Amino acid sequence: MKGADAEDRALRHLLDSGHTLLARNYRIPGGEIDLVTQDAGGLLVFSEVRQRRSAHHGSAAESVTPRKLALMQRAALSYLLRERGRDDLPCRLQVIGIDGSAAGGALSVLSVD
């Protein structure tokens, strides 16, 4: 399960950066968020994890389409309303890209909001 390996690495990176895991693979009909965390300052962070072994078709982060971002926003709003009871909490969306192998490729974090 290469996707799970990339998510595990991204989660380790977030935890090492002071985040707390709140949910993994949060799903709603038509959308999913790979990782929902909270940073040390209390900000909710919704992360999409992408990994590409080769840059032949672009970087891992570049593989996230506008449609995927819209579905991610919808899932984040659902999480806020269902799990937190409100939709006005400080949060951000980000893409964690791993270019190369899940274990050793270059990891980058791109905020998308």
In tens, the pLDDT along 6-21 reads 999 999 999 999 999 9
Can you tell me the distance from the alpha carbon of 79 to that of 42, in angstroms, rounded to the nearest whole number? 16
CA count, 13 A, side-chain hemisphere, 11: 16
Can you tell me the distance from the alpha carbon of 107 to that of 17, in angstroms, rounded to the nearest whole number? 13
Is the pTM higher than 0.85?
yes
Contacts 24+ apart (CB under 8 A), 14-21: 14/45, 14/47, 14/96, 19/45
What domains sit in the chain, N to C, each tagged with a CATH number?
2-111 (3.40.1350.10)
pLDDT averaged per 10 residues in sequence order, the chain, 113 residues: 83 97 94 95 96 78 88 95 93 94 91 80
Contact status, residue 95 vs residue 61, Cβ threshold 8 Å: yes
**49 pairs with which residues across the strands?**
96
Contact status, residue 83 vs residue 37, Cβ threshold 8 Å: no
